[in-house]
Amino acid sequence: MELRGNVRVYCRLRPTTPTEECPWGILSDQRTVTATAKGQQHAFTFNHIFGSQDSQAQVFAEIAELVQSSLDGYSVCIFSYGQTGAGKTHTMTGKASEEDQGLIPRALAKILDCQQRLKWQDWTYSLELSVMEVYNDRIRDLLGSRSTEVSDINDVKHEEGGHTTVVGVSRTTITSSEQALSLISKASINRSCHSTAMNASSSRSHSILMLNITGRHSDGTTLKGALSMVDLAGSERLTRSKAEGERKAETCAINQSLSSMQSVFEALAAASKPGGSANRHVPYRDSKLTYLLKPALSRGGKALMFVHVSPEEASMSESLHSLRFATKVSGVEVGPARKNGFTPSVTELHQGYSKTYALRSLENNLQKYSGQQLPAMREKEKSTHHRLQTNSFESLIPERHVTADEKHDLTVSYQGSGPYASHLDREEHFREHPTSSKALQLADENSVESASAIVDSGKPVMDFNLRSNSLRKRRQDGALIGERRQKRTSKWH
């Protein structure tokens, strides 16, 4: 899923209990939800609607690419919104069983798996996890001492690259899914939950997981991404919740911070309308919640909202309120997402994993040609590539006279092709797509032999290209050059 422009909104309907009848219906396009209340028909259209029968795995499949894009250097925010008891925490955290795991444990497992797969591409990642709650507009660390509260908004630090840190809130480097699950469980236990008239186990705070991602490539490239996953406390009407004392104060604080979030999206929506000012003030600092999420909710971030709907007839008013707000959010234009750093797309590299796997299989088949030389050759090619980048061309071909023209041809030829994979690609192409002409088949086999010879010799690709250039120059006066050029043209066209 690629997010460009508007904030995406997904709607999820909570399954009914045996005593409930769901008044909501989903149209066949899986984008429109309908209901009738007090004789009036209501319809709301979003990017996707998940019914009560959709599993946790199906929901995560729709956001997996968005989660993975945080490894590319994007600031990503996924948050769940809706009234209390609508299923927000089930979607975000879920339960311990693999089938019922929510988006948060699945997202962390996805990122950890991807960063392991990308090690062979010379990428290394540092993943720093923080989990906190905003309770009565104070920030509490859910992985450290709960006695530590952050009340000063200036203690929230937004760093370059979308990273956010909070003074006094712990950060833990994660390296495995098991460790991540343990931390999520600890945070869930520490989160503030109490019983109300509307929910026996109501979250009384906004829970925010922040993952600061730093990727480094062997060529010196550094990128920074961030993933924020937010389980918002449920909105409640005081008349229905019957909250008193401390519960009443909690409800007021929850509703106030949710109102601040609405104000942020309304300001963003106004700025994105025709004639709107891109410099319009957005009230991020009105609450700790919105200020924490500022990087992902600003221009250049990627944001996805899950709006949750309860099937209870008595909750129709709150459900309609949530859906109307979600409709406003879906119209917010935040502009194209911006990558923090200039790098190849990690998503593209990950999608190309299957092709690389095939090339490695081909490499194994080439063992009959090269014996134990391939590992050494791979290291040699890495060293060669590094020396070429530093313009140390002489070190590439020691004890050999190279003319200026040959050195130019060498540079252009090398920079236009991959050092080792190009030969594997070439051989794979000839083996899987043989030409019909016997003469051309013979030419193909000669190319295969040339590529295999490079593998056998372990010599840099540049030496092969240089010898090819020299050979071509010696043949310029030969009568055979025209015929070979004609064959080569017909082969590729």
- Of the two residues 227 and 16, the one the predictor is more confident about is 227
pLDDT band at 348 (very low <50, low <70, confident <90, very high): low
Task: Please say which residue of 341, 363, 378 terminates a domain.
Answer: 341
The tokens for 163 are 């990273």
Q: Is residue 347 part of a domain?
A: no
Residues 224 and 178 in one domain: yes
**398 pLDDT higher than 90:** no
Question: Which domain CATH number covers 55?
Answer: 3.40.850.10
**341 pLDDT higher than 80:** no
Residues 154 and 226 in one domain: yes
CA distance 296 to 450: 51
What sign does the CA torsion over 38, 43, 44, 47 have? positive
pLDDT band at 242 (very low <50, low <70, confident <90, very high): low
pLDDT at 473: 45
Residues 281 and 368 in one domain: no
Annotated binding site: 82-89
**308 pLDDT higher than 90:** yes
CA distance 148 to 164: 18
Residues 38 and 140 in one domain: yes
Residues 191 and 278 in one domain: yes
Q: Taking residues 406-415, what's their average pLDDT?
A: 45
Residues 294 and 184 in one domain: yes
Q: Is residue 247 part of a domain?
A: yes
- Of the two residues 6 and 189, the one the predictor is more confident about is 189
**400 pLDDT higher than 50:** no
The tokens for 323 are 């859906």
Q: Is residue 133 part of a domain?
A: yes
Residues 330 and 373 in one domain: no
Q: How many domains does the chain have?
A: 2
Q: What is the mean pLDDT of the chain?
A: 75
Residues 318 and 403 in one domain: no
CA distance 227 to 229: 7
Q: How many CB atoms lie within 10 A of CB 34?
A: 14
Helix (H) or strand (E) holding 437: none
Q: Taking residues 290-298, what's their average pLDDT?
A: 87
Residues 436 and 325 in one domain: no
Q: Taking residues 45-49, what's their average pLDDT?
A: 94
pLDDT at 219: 87
Assess contact for 126 and 214: CB atoms under 8 A. Answer: yes
Residues 383 and 295 in one domain: no
CA distance 465 to 471: 10
Q: Is residue 84 part of a domain?
A: yes
461: nearest Cα among 380, 400, 386: 380
Domain range enclosing 461: 352-492
Helix (H) or strand (E) holding 194: strand 193-194
Residues 332 and 361 in one domain: no
Q: Is residue 157 part of a domain?
A: yes
pLDDT per residue as tens digits for the range 442-485: 555 555 556 555 545 544 444 444 444 444 444 444 444 455 54
Annotated binding site for ATP: 82-89
Q: How far apart are the first and last CA of the chain?
A: 36
pTM across the whole model: 0.67
CA distance 93 to 231: 8
Q: Is residue 346 part of a domain?
A: no
94 phi-psi bin (left φ>0, alpha ψ -120 to 50, beta other): left
pLDDT band at 369 (very low <50, low <70, confident <90, very high): very low
Task: Please say which residue of 341, 369, 389 terminates a domain.
Answer: 341
Task: Please say which residue of 311, 341, 371 terminates a domain.
Answer: 341
pLDDT per residue as tens digits for the range 130-146: 999 998 888 999 998 76
pLDDT at 226: 94
Assess contact for 94 and 56: CB atoms under 8 A. Answer: yes
* DSSP H helical ranges for 210-272: 238-241, 245-272
Strand-pair partners of 126: 214
CA distance 144 to 183: 10
- Of the two residues 448 and 393, the one the predictor is more confident about is 448
CA distance 376 to 396: 16
Indicate the range of 194-208, 241-255, 291-305, 323-337 predicted with least confidence: 194-208
pLDDT per residue as tens digits for the range 17-46: 777 777 788 887 889 999 888 888 899 999
pLDDT at 493: 43
Residues 68 and 208 in one domain: yes
pLDDT at 192: 75
Q: Please state, in angstroms and as integers, the Cα–Cα distance from residue 111 to each residue in 57, 68, 337, following that order.
A: 16, 6, 19
